[in-house]
């Protein structure tokens, strides 16, 4: 279930490009569908296409030994999936999983490379985005290590809302547990605590954010820190 609608959905990176570059990049093509639970990149595999989401959101997941796994990044309308291509490596270090149905511009890797070679502004923009991603990654590392599940959950919900541009999305406790690297029960108790405080509402995999101010207060500082960095670097 997609969700709320806002007038002009565009990918923020593409929107920041010079028009001619943007035109050359995505040309006449139409955005593709991002289907729930679809794996766009598998860890270790060769990347053929990169994606610039318009809505929906994509989780970047690192597989660990055993069943353990952990989400280390989140890509939505503010970013791009497949940054390693910018660095000239077309092997994906992470698994990219569509968590929120939506649409995205898809660009062939070779084509992107050609455009990047010719356009300094495009290189600069994507490099800056990469820098942001890097800082978010370190922030995630800290967060995962030190913060309580409840605060981390609140942060995740807010980040997702921003990226998907929707206050309501489909995620079960079980999936959240995978993302946060904790047990499902841990998510259940954290989520029910947030629900009791009327910050969110959920039922059978549908989560709505009721009070984002309150949720931000319940989240760890990492959320604010990430936003600040994005604003500062991408401005």
Nearer to DNA, 95 or 173 (CB): 173
Interface segment toward DNA; rule CB under 7 A; list 26-34, 118-126, 173-181, 222-230: 173-181
From the list a copy of itself, DNA, none, partner contacted by residue 148 (C-beta under 5 to 8 A by kind): DNA
CA distance 71 to 61: 4
Residue 234, both tokens: 């991408």
Interface segment toward a copy of itself; rule CB under 8 A; list 32-40, 45-53, 139-147, 190-198: 139-147
Query: Closest Cα partner for 200 from 182, 221, 179, 173?
Result: 173
Q: What three-state secondary structure class fits 201?
A: strand
With a CB cutoff of 8 Å and minimum separation 6, the contacts of 14 are 22, 25, 26, 52, 105
The least distance separating DNA from the CB of residue 219, rounded to whole angstroms, comes to 13
With a CB cutoff of 8 Å and minimum separation 6, the contacts of 217 are none
CA distance 114 to 154: 40
**181, 194, 200, 215: which one binds DNA (CB under 7 A):** 181
**88, 196, 213, 235: which one binds a copy of itself (CB under 8 A):** 88
Nearer to a copy of itself, 154 or 207 (CB): 154
From the list a copy of itself, DNA, none, partner contacted by residue 185 (C-beta under 5 to 8 A by kind): DNA
CA distance 233 to 48: 28
**Per-residue DSSP letters for 24-45?**
HHHTT--PEEE-TT-EEE-TTS
CA distance 150 to 9: 31
**34, 40, 72, 97: which one binds a copy of itself (CB under 8 A):** 72
- Interface residues with a copy of itself (CB under 8 A) are 62, 64-65, 68, 70, 72, 84, 86-89, 93-94, 124, 127-128, 130-131, 134-135, 137-142, 144-146, 181, 221, 229, 233
- Interface residues with DNA (CB under 7 A) are 148-150, 172-174, 181-186, 188-189, 191-192, 195, 202-205
């Amino acid at each position: 279930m997609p969700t709320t609608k806002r007038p002009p959905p565009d990918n923020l990176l593409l929107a920041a490009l010079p028009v001619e570059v943007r035109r050359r990049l995505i040309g006449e093509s139409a955005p593709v569908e991002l289907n729930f639970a679809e794996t766009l990149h598998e860890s270790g595999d060769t990347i053929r296409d990169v994606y610039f989401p318009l809505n929906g959101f994509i989780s970047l997941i690192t597989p660990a030994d055993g069943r353990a796994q952990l989400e280390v990044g989140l890509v939505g309308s503010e970013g791009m999936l497949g940054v390693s291509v910018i660095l000239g490596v077309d092997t994906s270090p992470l698994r990219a999983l569509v968590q929120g149905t939506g649409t995205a511009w898809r660009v062939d890797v070779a084509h992107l490379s050609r455009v990047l070679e010719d356009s300094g502004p495009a290189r600069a923009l994507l490099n800056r985005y990469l820098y942001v991603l890097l800082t978010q990654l370190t922030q995630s590392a800290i967060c995962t290590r030190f913060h309580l599940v409840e605060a981390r959950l609140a942060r995740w919900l807010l980040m997702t809302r921003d990226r998907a541009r929707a206050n309501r999305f489909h995620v079960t406790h079980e999936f959240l547990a995978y993302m946060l690297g904790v047990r499902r029960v841990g998510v259940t108790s954290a989520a029910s605590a947030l629900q009791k405080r009327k910050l969110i509402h959920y039922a059978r995999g549908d989560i709505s954010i009721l009070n984002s101010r309150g949720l931000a207060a319940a989240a760890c500082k990492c959320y604010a820190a990430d936003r600040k960095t994005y604003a500062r670097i991408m401005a």
